[in-house]
């Protein structure tokens, strides 16, 4: 009997050792330690730039999605996080992006676009210093969300509006506009709602890009995963 109890205790111990890290680093409850360094900056700038916005903790989930390959990766919540391919360059907490055409010319430059639009707020930000200015990375990210969120004022539900805003952050405001129109023209589709409505009418490329996923797959997953991880950041914004 004592031997069976001993074996049972050993089995429980090894199972605990094996599963504890998995539980501890579950995406739905674990907030990377580096996030705590930047959350005060998010709180200050989101309150100033988007007064009355009910979901400032969304920015925590957005940065996690943009910068974290995994929750324990060294570049998770890291201002020097970088994604570079022959087609685009993304840097920072919000992955400000410069994309290129096949001939090497710039197709779009989100940093320059935002600095031109909000020059007073972002005049000190450039591609030369972006990795050293996490404060301005965060400010640019908030302003990009603000731009898209303000454009979608006709969407009456705050959370549905924010989901469309998130889709636009990843895939462009023009894309979400076209998809809302397509939804509105379809039977039983309401362009006021992302969930099970606009999200079903993706007009982006279905061609495989990264990891067997298309632009359409990536865009829809961006919304789903970002909103899945929002709640765990809420405690830091009370």
pLDDT digits (tens, 9 = 90+) for 53-101: 999 999 999 999 999 989 998 899 999 988 888 788 899 999 999 888 8
Confidence check: pLDDT of 107 > 90 = no
For residue 219, with 0-12 CB atoms within 10 Å meaning exposed, 13-18 middle and 19 or more buried, which class applies? buried
Q: How far apart are CA 58 and CA 89, in angstroms?
A: 24
Identify the architecture of domain 31-237 in CATH. Orthogonal Bundle (1.10)
Mean pLDDT on 4-13: 43
Q: How confident is the model at residue 47 (pLDDT cuts 50, 70, 90)?
A: very high
Confidence check: pLDDT of 2 > 60 = no
How far is the CA of 15 from the CAs of 119, 201, 211, in angstroms? Answer: 55, 44, 32
Q: Among residues 92, 127, 122, which one has the least CA distance to residue 106?
A: 127
Q: Among residues 87, 140, 86, which one has the least CA distance to residue 113?
A: 140
pLDDT digits (tens, 9 = 90+) for 197-233: 999 999 988 887 766 788 999 999 999 999 999 999 9
Q: How far apart are CA 187 and CA 183, in angstroms?
A: 8
* pLDDT value of position 12: 40
Residues 6+ apart with CB under 8 A from 160: 192, 193, 194, 195
Q: How many CB atoms lie within 10 A of CB 25?
A: 13
Confidence check: pLDDT of 171 > 60 = yes
Q: How confident is the model at residue 29 (pLDDT cuts 50, 70, 90)?
A: confident
Range name among 48-52, 117-121, 123-127, 212-216 with the lowest pLDDT average: 212-216
Residues 6+ apart with CB under 8 A from 125: 111, 115, 133, 136, 137, 139, 140
* pLDDT value of position 26: 58
* pLDDT value of position 45: 97
Asked if residue 126 lies in contact with residue 68, where contact means CB atoms within 8 angstroms, the answer is no
For residue 151, with 0-12 CB atoms within 10 Å meaning exposed, 13-18 middle and 19 or more buried, which class applies? middle
* pLDDT value of position 27: 59
Q: How confident is the model at residue 114 (pLDDT cuts 50, 70, 90)?
A: very high
User: First and final CA of the chain: distance in angstroms?
Assistant: 52
* pLDDT value of position 17: 40
């Amino acid at each position: 009997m004592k031997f069976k109890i001993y074996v049972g205790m050993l089995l429980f111990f090894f199972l605990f050792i094996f599963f504890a890290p998995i539980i501890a680093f579950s995406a739905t409850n674990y907030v990377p330690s580096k996030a705590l360094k930047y959350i005060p900056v998010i709180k200050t700038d989101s309150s100033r730039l988007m007064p009355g916005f009910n979901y400032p903790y969304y920015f925590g989930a957005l940065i996690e999605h943009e910068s974290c390959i995994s929750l324990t990766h060294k570049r998770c919540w890291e201002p020097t996080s970088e994604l570079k391919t022959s087609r685009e360059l993304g840097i920072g907490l919000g992955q400000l992006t410069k994309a290129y055409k096949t001939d090497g010319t710039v197709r779009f430059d989100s940093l320059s676009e935002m600095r031109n639009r909000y020059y007073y707020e972002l005049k000190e930000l450039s591609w030369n210093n972006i990795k050293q200015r996490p404060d301005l990375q965060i400010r640019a990210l908030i302003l990009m969300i603000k731009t898209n969120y303000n454009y979608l004022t006709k969407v009456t539900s705050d959370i549905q509006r924010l989901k469309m805003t998130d889709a636009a952050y990843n895939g462009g405001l023009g894309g979400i506009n076209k998809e809302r129109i397509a939804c509105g023209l379809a039977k039983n589709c309401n362009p006021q709602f992302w969930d099970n409505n606009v999200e079903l009418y993706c007009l982006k490329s279905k061609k495989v890009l990264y990891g067997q996923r298309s632009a359409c797959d990536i865009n829809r997953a961006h919304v789903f995963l970002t909103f899945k991880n929002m709640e765990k950041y809420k405690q830091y914004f009370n």
